[in-house]
Structure 1
Amino acid sequence: MRPHHGHGDVDRELAQSKIMNDYILQTNDLVKEFKGFVAVDGVSLKIRRGHIHAMIGPNGAGKTTCFNLLTKFLQPTRGSIRFNDIDITRDEPARIARRGIVRSFQISAVFPHLTVLENVRIALQRKLGSSFHFWRSDKALSRLDDRAVELLADVGLDSYSRMLAVELPYGHKRALEIATTLALEPELILLDEPTQGMGHEDVDRVMQLIKKVSADRTILMVEHNMKVVAGISDTITVLAHGAVLAEGPYAEVASNPQVIEAYMGTAQREPEGIGA
């Protein structure tokens, strides 16, 4: 006769299963069609827990559509998505976020006329399930303030806490956005073009920041800057025409003739890094 398992045993088994499962996110033959046009064509991803995984590809390769499928802003036509070995294919976006998948958007998503500290505090209150109330007790708000200051220190913005977000330089706004993302305590962060539109100095700062915050969490990013991709990614998936063209470490992907051809076919010259 099998022994009886209590709730504690089940919890331990689930925890053990999670440890044993090396992949935090997996997709199987993910397809998205728009009126006959196939934007994502049979994409199967395996995102390893604790890694930085980059998704690259020429314009129109299906990267953003893929991101929208993973965060459920779009429903797949076919295929499945599993997070921590749970099928989330039909989950709503809010439920995805509660499970621990948080997306930082391509355009900096902060409240411009609130202070840097208030922006992070709003995200902390969302995590607690309460809305932002200016009239909440000083004790409750100061408890959040302490955590907000810690998060700002993590992203190098502690000295900017009283500044209005609108006054921050562009690269610092992206750092603030990452701080608000971290406030939600995600297991998996999806970064959509985190260095887009930045000068070299800001790119370097955000690149180091991504590396730092990845210490105990998983990051999946879409990124065009090959310096960033080469510098911090553990694994790279290359998409072309909605399908996976190649996957592996940067050196392997960058020397793949199909990858070089895909980029050469859509630009006058190779993007920095590919084929170098």
Structure 2
Amino acid sequence: MADIILETRKLTRDFKGFTAVDRVDLRVQRGHIHALIGPNGAGKTTCFNLLTRFLSPSSGQILFNGTDITRVPPARVARLGIIRSFQISAVFPHLTVLQNVRIGLQRRLGTSYHFWRSGRSLRRLDERAMALLEAVGLAGLAQSLTADLPYGRKRALEIATTLGMEPELMLLDEPTQGMGHEDVHRVMELIRTVAQGRTVLMVEHNMKVVAGLCDRISVLQRGAVLAEGSYAEVAADRRVMEAYMGSAAEGAGDAAAPLQGTPQ
């Protein structure tokens, strides 16, 4: 039996007659990088919001490490070890890179966040913060103002801050969105590195990223699971191609093109 860290059973979310997530059965294996993909409007981010309890499901169950967390408040879900990033980079622009990571680490103190406290009281966190910055390639920018970072480096900083919260399961929502080729490659390598010893569930539109990183892929269409398997398996599924070609016809660009063959 596979070691399943996260499972959903018939997970559903309705919005005034519109079903955004439709009876989704999802099983994420511990230690895997698992992707949720699908055309625009397929329900991927809504599914993330349900898993982290930013939204409550209309019906169905969410289990984490075998425990039902369907009605658990979002803050407690985070404390259990499910930590997410967002499509828009969520960093404090007017703090330094080091200070951003240190905020994520304050949870380790076992007290409230000390925004009003002297920086000297938090320096015990600096060693761990620098280790996290080293892991994401930002140690040399520790004293830089976050607002001055390129977009790709801000995403790397967000991942470092997420790691500071010691996630057992990382949920990454469009980690390479809006990036150029060089930044995409850098973030791919970063995700590959930080996934060692962790489980990652990611929403991603870039199929080259999905093909290069993911052990398993779940394809959503109109809120329901359309297909599931390895990249090669879902790329060969005619229903998946039809879903993406339909999306492309509605202005989704060339998102479907990489599905036509596994990248080298």
Query: Which band: TM-score by shorter chain?
Result: over 0.9
State the partner residue of 1:271.
Answer: 256
Alignment equivalent of 1:230, drawn from 211, 214, 220: 211
RMSD: 1.4
The reply to whether residue 95 of structure 1 matches residue 76 of structure 2 is yes
Query: 1:116 touches 1:162 (CA, 8 Å); kept in 2?
Result: yes
Q: Following the alignment from structure 1 to structure 2, what is the Cα–Cα distance between the partners of residues 65 and 105?
A: 12
Alpha-carbon contact 2:96-2:144 (below 8 Å) kept = yes
Determine if contact 1:112/1:166 at 8 Å carries over to the other structure.
yes
Unmatched runs of 5 consecutive residues or more in structure 1: 1-19
Q: Higher mean Cα deviation, 162-171 or 121-130?
A: 121-130
Q: Given the alignment, which residue of 11, 14, 30 partners 1:33?
A: 14
Contact in 1 for aligned 2:155/2:175 (Cα 8 Å)? yes
1:103-114 equivalences under 5 Å are 103-114=84-95
* Map of 1:9 onto structure 2: none
Which residue among 49, 66, 75 is the counterpart of 2:56?
A: 75
**Which of 29, 32, 38 is equivalent to 1:57?**
38
In 2: Cα distance, 1:89 partner to 1:29 partner = 12
After TM superposition, give the deviation of residue 266 of structure 1 in Å: 1.8
1:135–1:94 distance in 2 versus 1, CA, 3 Å: closer
TM-score, scaled to structure 1: 0.90
In structure 2, relative to structure 1, the CA distance for the partners of 1:135 and 1:256 (3 Å cut) is same
Partner Cα distance (2:28, 2:117) in 1: 42
SS of residue matched to 1:113: coil
1:272 is displaced (CA, Å) by 3.2
Q: Give the corresponding residue for 2:230.
A: 249
TM-aligned CA deviation for residue 131 of structure 1? 1.1
Distance 2:8 2:198 in 1: 19
Residue 270 of structure 1, CA deviation? 5.5
Amino acid at match of 2:113: S
Q: Which moved more, 1:144-153 or 1:118-127?
A: 118-127
Letter in 2 for 1:130: S
Following superposition, the deviation at residue 134 of structure 1 comes to 5.9
SS at 2:247's partner residue?
coil
Distance across 1 between alignment mates of 2:133 and 2:8: 33
- 1:118 to 2:90 alignment: no
Residue 155 of structure 1 is matched in structure 2 by: 136
CA contact 2:207–2:255 (8 Å) conserved in 1: no
1:262 is aligned, of 237, 243, 253, to 243
C-alpha displacement at 1:127, in angstroms?
A: 3.8
8 Å contact 1:225–1:272 — kept in the other structure? no
State how many pairs are aligned: 256
Structure 1 residues 137 and 107: alpha-carbon distance in aligned structure 2, compared to 1, 3 A threshold: closer
The superposition leaves residues 1-20 of structure 1 with CA deviations (integer Å, 9 ceiling, x where unpaired) of: xxxxxxxxxxxxxxxxxxx8
Unaligned 5+ runs, structure 2:
none
1:131 aligns with 2:113: yes
Bigger Cα displacement from structure 2, 174-183 vs 140-149: 140-149
State the AA in 1 paired with 2:158. Answer: E
CA distance in 2, matches of 1:117, 1:58: 37
Asked whether the 8 Å contact 1:102–1:189 carries over to 2, the reply is: yes
Q: Secondary structure at the match of 1:111?
A: coil
Please say if residues 227 and 272 of structure 1, whose CA atoms lie closer than 8 Å, have aligned partners that are also in contact. Answer: no
SS in 1 for 2:156: helix
CA distance, structure 2, for counterparts of residue 245 and residue 161 of structure 1 = 44
Residue 173 of structure 1 corresponds to 154
Q: Is 2:195 the counterpart of 1:214?
A: yes
Tell me which residue corresponds to 2:172. Answer: 191
Q: Give the direction of change, closer, same or farther, for the CA distance of 1:270–1:218 in structure 2 (3 Å limit).
A: closer
Residue identity in the other structure for 1:111: F
State whether residues 116 and 163 of structure 1, in contact with CA within 8 Å, keep that contact through their aligned partners in structure 2: yes
